[in-house]
Amino acid sequence: MKKIIIVDDHSLFREGIKLMLESNGFGEVIAEAENGSVFLETLKTHKPDLVIMDIEMPVMNGQEATKKALEIYPDLKILVLTMLNDRENYQEMINAGALGFVLKTSGKKEFEKAIQAVINGENYFSNDLLREIILNMNAHQQSVPVAKNNVSDIHFTAREKEVLAHFCSGLTVSEIAEKLFLSIKTIEAHRSALLRKTSTKNTLNLVLFAIKNKLVEI
Amino acid sequence: MKKIIIVDDHSLFREGIKLMLESNGFGEVIAEAENGSVFLETLKTHKPDLVIMDIEMPVMNGQEATKKALEIYPDLKILVLTMLNDRENYQEMINAGALGFVLKTSGKKEFEKAIQAVINGENYFSNDLLREIILNMNAHQQSVPVAKNNVSDIHFTAREKEVLAHFCSGLTVSEIAEKLFLSIKTIEAHRSALLRKTSTKNTLNLVLFAIKNKLVEI
DNA sequence: GTAAAAATAAGGGTTTACACTAATAATTTT
DNA sequence: AAAATTATTAGTGTAAACCCTTATTTTTAC
């Protein structure tokens, strides 16, 4: 009988997953935690064969909890179960050391496959997520060289930040030029630099990038 | 045996709640829906005693689904089960006609009490939420003077919502056309309608409008 | 004080966005 | 059954977006 710990801030979700796991004979839920901090405490008295981990949680999130837990117990098998399906969260959790990644929108069958894989020490990644990643890869083509993916690593100049902020408030190139008493060509040059640095292909995606990465307030 | 429909975009959450309801003899889950639109279709063939409804869902959200469902079936008993604990969502759902409101962070007992109350036609509001609202009543009070009339009055067709969602994920007109197997001219027509209805002048401002007014999830 | 980076600007080219008009078929409402 | 709305597609034209190269001035850095 495999021992399982569920880490998720939604009590009802924990209840449901617990029922599903136990009624299907997947294992026994020996503990639950509503955030990463409580989970780390729980590990002092419980040794699970599998951890089902959410990402977004108060006090301590999933990335930090996964990282810290694996520092102490490197053999821990962690399956991420979340509703966040963006590439960054996926990469962060994999870097933190999670073995598998499944979305809450996934079906029961996929969840069960993921559990089996992770308990056996194998990797499992949600098909929906893989599709999303592949689609994004085509859209961005060769502009995502894996190394430069950290948003905090990107350096914007003061002017670029200023221009970006204006794009994010909905202004066009000519409007920004007028506002800053600069030539249209200058604003276009700044935009080109912004597109290059963020690996985005047009202004709309640049603005979406800025919003998603909280580079601006909207 | 009470007949229940679960409306939530997270498949695994539906599974869990279903198991919980059925193993505790609360009723039988006769149908599930991953968004409001699918739910409205489901109502044509199923007559539930209770609907458990999420708020944030793609295609059609909980507010709209609740409103439309109650227009057709005024006696429908709807219990909102969500992780959104802000006053706006609470008020909108109550205005839409939901009888109860429970957070996903709530415990099983509170959930069961809410179900019993709503099935009997009574109201039930999550204690956590009530506390939150009472705490914030003084802080917000007059700060939101019901100035939200414009946005909720706008009516988008199903196609328009679909196209809008694709714009908000950063796709261009030609990419959306390819994705939906439609002509570029068709997508342009939908965009023109969206720009007209939202009083925006270009796609970027349309997307910013949608994000600011929470018409889409980003 | 020289090299590097940043800010500015232009020319020229392709692609996409957007407005306006118009038309047909399907669906829904009355 | 008739009317209204929705979904679809097209043509035409202007404006804006976007790419590429080049280049000067200013600021920053070592």
Chain D nucleotides covered by protein, CB below 7 Å? 5-11, 16-23
d(CA B138, CA B87): 13
A4-8, B10-14, B58-62: which is most confident: A4-8
In B4-63, the residues whose Cβ lies within 8 Å of chain A are: 9-13, 15-20, 23, 34
Asked if A53 and A65 touch (Cβ cutoff 8 Å), the reply is yes
Question: Rounded to a whole number, what is the distance in Å from the CA of A130 to chain B's nearest CA?
Answer: 17
Residue A136 has pLDDT above 70, yes or no: no
* C1' (D1) to CA (B71) span, angstroms: 27
Residue A146, pLDDT score:
32
Bigger pLDDT: B126 vs A184: A184
Residue B5, pLDDT score:
94
DSSP state string for A195-213: HHHHT-SSHHHHHHHHHHT
Residue A120, pLDDT score:
84
pLDDT in tens, B23-49: 888 889 999 998 888 888 888 888 899
Residue among A11, A81, A204 minimizing CB distance to B105: A11
Among left, alpha and beta (phi > 0; psi -120 to 50; other), residue A103 is beta
Does pTM top 0.75 for this prediction?
Answer: no
* Ramachandran angles phi, psi of A174, nearest 5°: -65, -35
Residue A148 has pLDDT above 70, yes or no: no
d(CA A48, CA A30): 8
Q: What angle do CA A21, A25, A26 make, to 5 degrees?
A: 55
DSSP E strands in B8-87: the ranges are 28-33, 50-53, 78-82
**Mode of pairing for the β-strands spanning B50-53 and B78-82:** parallel
Asked if A72 and A46 touch (Cβ cutoff 8 Å), the reply is no
Say what angle helices A108-119 and B11-23 make with each other, to 10 degrees: 100
Residue B191 has pLDDT above 50, yes or no: yes
- Which chain B positions have a beta carbon within 8 Å of A202's beta carbon? 172
- Which chain B positions have a beta carbon within 8 Å of A15's beta carbon? 16, 20, 108
To the nearest whole percent, how much of chain A has pLDDT over 90?
Answer: 13
Q: Confidence band (pLDDT; 50, 70, 90) for B3? A: very high
pLDDT in tens, B136-184: 443 333 323 333 335 766 788 888 888 888 899 888 888 888 888 888 8
Say what angle helices B87-96 and B62-72 make with each other, to 10 degrees: 10
Sequence-separated (6 or more) residues with CB below 8 Å from residue B17: A12, A16, B6, B8, B52, B81
- Taking residue B106's Cβ as centre, other Cβ atoms within 10 Å add up to 20
- Answer positive or negative: Cα dihedral of B185, B187, B190, B196: negative
Which 8-state DSSP code applies to residue A29? Answer: E
- Which chain A positions have a beta carbon within 8 Å of B23's beta carbon? 19, 23
In B136-195, the residues whose Cβ lies within 8 Å of chain A are: 167-170, 172
User: Which residues numbered 70-109 in chain A sit less than 7 A from strand C, measured from CB?
Assistant: none
